[in-house]
Copies of this chain bind each other. A is one copy, B any other.
Amino acid sequence: MQEKPAPAVPKRRSNTQRSEEMRARLMAVGREIFVEKGFAGAGTPEIVKRAEVTRGALYHHFADKTDLFRAIVKAETDQLREDIAARTADVADPSESLLVGTKAYFASMNVAGRCQLLLVDGPAVLGPSEMSVLHEEGGRSTLLNGITRAQPDLPFAEAEALAVSLSAAYDRAAFAISEGEEEEPYVKALMALVLTAMTA
């Protein structure tokens, strides 16, 4: 017989509380292992083992392994948006805001494992289209907004092409920084490129 230590969490919980706690736990552990081993290398047996529950719990709260991954990715993109919004909220000057936003993006994407989840595994597992909806790469719509405002005469298709291409540049830069590259050159490079898009 195993001795049961008094649980820090009260033994009697409401159903919604139980569910939320379980989901949070599975997502936290899932994130760890997905980052460690990638989506394919992460097995549900290991996930539930480290979370100290059974696969039954997992498949009760998530349709399948992909669904768990999707929830984790969504939480990650939400956090990313929050981080950037918080940092840029009190910046009035537009060009200053652009710089601050760029740095905020790099900083938030620098959270351990985030680049792998959002830029490597995400597109492969969920597909680029769903991923693009969730991730809204590099503030694509923000970029598009700035471009069309700065250059009202630019054909929309070209403005969109610029925004899409630039957003990819942002993502790739964020990835490089998260891999240990110096941030400063990338900030300068991206600012130069964005400035072109806005003025040229």
Contacts and interface: CB of A to CB of B under 8 A. Distances in A.
Interface string A114-126: 0000001101110
Given A120-B123, A120-B124, A158-B185, 8 more contacts: A40-B124, A160-B185, A162-B189, A164-B172, A165-B186, A166-B193, A193-B193, A193-B197
Across chains A and B, which 9 residue pairs bring their CB atoms closest together, nearest first? A168-B172, A124-B124, A196-B196, A165-B169, A161-B185, A161-B189, A157-B185, A158-B185, A162-B189
A81 to B, nearest CB: 20
Interface of A: 38-40, 120-121, 123-125, 128, 155, 157-158, 160-162, 164-173, 175-176, 181-182, 184-186, 188-190, 192-193, 195-197, 200
A195 B197 CA distance: 11
A161 B175 contact: no
Contacts of A176: 161, 164
Which one of A39, A120, A124, A192 has the highest number of Cβ atoms from chain B below 10 Å of its Cβ? A124
Number of copies: 2
A165 B105 CA distance: 15
A166 to B, nearest CB: 7
A77 to B, nearest CB: 18
A140 B160 CA distance: 23
Contact of A192 (B124, B162, B164, B188): B162
A169 B168 CA distance: 5
A182 to B, nearest CB: 6
Given A165-B169, A173-B165, A188 B158 contact: yes
